[in-house]
């Protein structure tokens, strides 16, 4: 029995991900233009990615705005360099979750929830650099091979355990099964750390501020705490990575990324760029829709925290309107009073905001305030072609 056990353990060790030095970003690897998949495994992985991309290209969730897509591409190119970004195809999709990913064939998918939560261009560069690092390091292929090897080990260990004639042999095989399964998730976590480090190497060679990357995870921790509090769940801020975790914990990432940023800053070096104004301009046409998608997540406290973060020191009309919608949707009597106040503030800053009159009128009517009828009449005058005009006219009458 020793020889099969040794072979299984060797298979697990042989698929271990090569570790980067944890204290410094790695050197940028050599890049090959127009790389083509090599071998049957990589060709198969690319074929699956090609099929996914064909479906994504025709998806109704795709945001086919040339300006927005061009801006995201420009950030990628400024981050990883013009030669590296040439083969990347970028797809921005309507998805309220904080997410982005890149497939082995060069498809980069960026969710609207990510764009909503990002504070400036440097933060976007750090996240997109992380996803490009997965592509450049061939993590999709390496992950596939590791999962295949580990699942083979787990399957054979299960067969041997089921036919074992002694308790000790069965117990040994079951331990190997657990180790094989755990190795798949540990491998994924190590790949995420590698992508973080290589992203910092991209940032180091770019004009962007490296300190921004840790700030993202700090805010995600706070938003997660707010969501947990609203759902009467405990905070997971200080939890260790679970057995089945595919990513390091947010607090772990924030810690090592901040340490790296401090080490990367040279005494006397001029401040790096964050390009927050440029980012705000790029998102201006889309933020209202992204906020609307966020409101549909049914996450009151998490969304309220996010709106406060977006407001920083100034509540703009779109944020005030979104906050009014958030409070009106929860619908407690005190929430309706708060919502009316938010709508009024939004209208004071932007009297042309017809949707704010609609929201205020509905909130007032639910509070049995007859002034709601006047607000709805104002909305119908401003939006005579409103799709809900007939219904609201009935409410007014």
384 in the same domain as 235: no
Last-in-domain residue among 264, 297, 325:
264
Whether the pLDDT of residue 19 is over 60: the answer is no
Closest CA to 36 of 25, 24, 45: 45
pLDDT (tens digit per residue) in 369-385: 999 999 999 999 999 99
Structural domain boundaries enclosing 125: 2-264
Instruction: Answer whether residue 281 is part of any domain.
Output: no
CA distances from 349 to 122, 235, 381 (A): 30, 37, 19
Instruction: Answer whether residue 297 is part of any domain.
Output: no
Which of 245-282 are b and which e, b meaning 16 or more Cβ less than 10 Å from the residue's Cβ? eeebbbbebbebbbebbeebeeeeeeebbbbeeebeeb
pLDDT (tens digit per residue) in 82-105: 888 888 999 999 999 999 999 999
215 in the same domain as 149: yes
pLDDT (tens digit per residue) in 286-340: 999 999 999 999 999 999 999 999 998 899 999 999 999 999 999 999 999 999 9
**CB–CB of 7/180 below 8 Å?**
no
Window from 15-19, 84-88, 115-119, 307-311 with minimum mean pLDDT: 15-19
332 in the same domain as 246: no
Instruction: Answer whether residue 219 is part of any domain.
Output: yes
- Sheet harboring 100-102: ordered strands across? 89-93, 107-111, 100-102
Whether the pLDDT of residue 221 is over 80: the answer is yes
Instruction: Answer whether residue 306 is part of any domain.
Output: no
Chain centroid to Cα 88, Å, comes to: 19
Last-in-domain residue among 245, 264, 283:
264
pLDDT reported for residue 25: 73
pTM score > 0.95 for this model?
no
pLDDT (tens digit per residue) in 157-191: 989 988 888 889 888 988 998 999 999 999 999 99
210 in the same domain as 110: yes
Closest CA to 118 of 134, 129, 104: 129
209 in the same domain as 344: no
Work out how many domains the chain is built from and give that number: 2
131 in the same domain as 67: yes
- Distance between CA 335 and CA 364 in Å, rounded? 11
208 in the same domain as 106: yes
Q: What is the CATH number of the domain that holds 387?
A: 1.25.40.10
Instruction: Answer whether residue 258 is part of any domain.
Output: yes
Whether the pLDDT of residue 7 is over 60: the answer is no
Report which DSSP code applies to 100: E
Helix (H/G/I), strand (E/B), else coil: 111: strand
């Amino acid at each position: 029995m020793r020889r099969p056990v040794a072979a299984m353990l060797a298979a697990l060790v042989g698929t271990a991900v090569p570790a980067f030095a944890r204290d410094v970003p790695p050197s940028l690897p050599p890049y090959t233009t127009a790389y083509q998949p090599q071998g049957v495994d990589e060709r198969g992985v690319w074929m699956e990615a090609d099929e996914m991309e064909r479906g994504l290209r025709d998806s109704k969730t795709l945001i086919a705005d040339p300006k927005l897509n061009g801006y995201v591409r420009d950030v990628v190119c400024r981050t990883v360099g013009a030669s590296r970004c040439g083969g990347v195809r970028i797809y921005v999709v309507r998805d309220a979750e904080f997410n982005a990913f890149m497939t082995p064939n060069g498809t980069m998918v960026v969710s609207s929830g990510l764009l909503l939560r990002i504070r400036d261009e440097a933060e976007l560069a750090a996240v997109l650099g992380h996803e490009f690092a997965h592509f450049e390091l061939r993590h999709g292929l390496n992950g596939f091979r590791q999962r295949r090897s580990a699942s083979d080990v787990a399957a054979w260990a299960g067969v041997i355990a089921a036919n074992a004639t002694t308790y000790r042999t069965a117990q040994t095989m079951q331990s190997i099964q657990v180790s094989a399964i755990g190795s798949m998730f540990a491998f994924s976590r190590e790949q995420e750390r590698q992508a973080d480090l290589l992203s910092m190497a991209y940032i180091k060679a770019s004009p962007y501020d490296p300190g921004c990357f840790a700030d993202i995870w700090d805010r995600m921790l706070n938003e997660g705490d707010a969501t947990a509090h609203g759902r009467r769940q405990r905070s997971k801020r200080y939890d260790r990575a679970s057995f089945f975790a595919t990513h390091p914990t947010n607090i772990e990432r924030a810690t090592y990324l901040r340490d790296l940023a401090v080490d990367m800053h040279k005494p006397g070096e001029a401040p790096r760029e964050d390009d927050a104004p440029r980012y705000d301009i790029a998102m201006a046409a889309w933020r209202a829709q992204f906020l609307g998608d966020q409101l549909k997540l049914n996450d009151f406290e998490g969304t309220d925290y996010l709106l406060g973060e977006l407001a920083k020191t100034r509540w703009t009309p779109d944020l005030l309107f979104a906050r009014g919608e958030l409070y009106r949707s929860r619908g407690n009597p005190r929430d309706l009073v708060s919502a009316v106040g938010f709508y009024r503030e939004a209208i004071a800053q932007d009297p042309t905001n017809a949707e704010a009159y609609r929201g205020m009128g509905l909130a007032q009517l639910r509070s049995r305030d007859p002034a709601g009828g006047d607000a709805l009449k104002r909305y119908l005058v401003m939006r005579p072609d409103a799709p809900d005009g007939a219904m609201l006219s009935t409410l007014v009458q």
